[in-house]
Structures are given as C-alpha cells and as structure tokens.
Amino acid sequence: MPNTEAQKKARRKWVENNREIYNSLHNEYTKKYYQNNREARLEYAKQYREKQKALKTTNENIEKENI
C-alpha cells in the first residue's frame, strides 16, 4: 500500500486513468479468490442458512406458546 500522500495521489490518478485495466485486474483477483475458497464459502452459507432456519422456528414456537 502507498505510504506517502504523493503515492496515494499517484495511485488514485492511475486508477482514474486506467479504470478498465483496474476493473479487469480486480475481477481476476476476485475470481481467483472465489475459486480457491469456494468450498469454505459454500459450507459457511449452509451453516448460516441452518442457523437462521433454527432461529426462525424457535421464534415461531415462542410466539405460539405466548398465544
């Protein structure tokens, strides 16, 4: 990462002038990261959905008991 204000300014200017190149590089890095961590993300999503479903059912059960 840039350390000085001049380096930060130069980087911002480069990104503005080379927006298409910057976006394509960002897309490549994003896809590579996703492919390397795909299984972990899918497992996390599965656990999250199960947790949310369990939370919803417990909340529904509590509401039914209160009625």
Number of domains observed in the structure of the chain: 2
Regarding whether 8 and 22 lie in a shared domain, the answer is yes
pLDDT band at 2 (very low <50, low <70, confident <90, very high): low
Is the pTM for the entire model greater than 0.75? no
Rounded distance between C-alpha atoms, residue 53 and residue 7, angstroms = 48
Asked whether residue 64 falls in the same domain as residue 48, the answer is yes
Q: Which pLDDT does position 13 carry in this prediction?
A: 93
2 and 8 Cβ atoms separated by less than 8 Å: yes
Q: Domain residues for 27?
A: 1-36
What are the pLDDT digits (tens) for 15-61?
A: 899 999 989 999 999 999 999 999 999 999 999 999 999 999 998 88
End-to-end Cα separation, the chain, in angstroms: 58
Q: Are residues 47 and 65 in the same domain?
A: yes
Residues 16 and 27 in one domain: yes
Do 65 and 42 lie in one domain? The reply is: yes
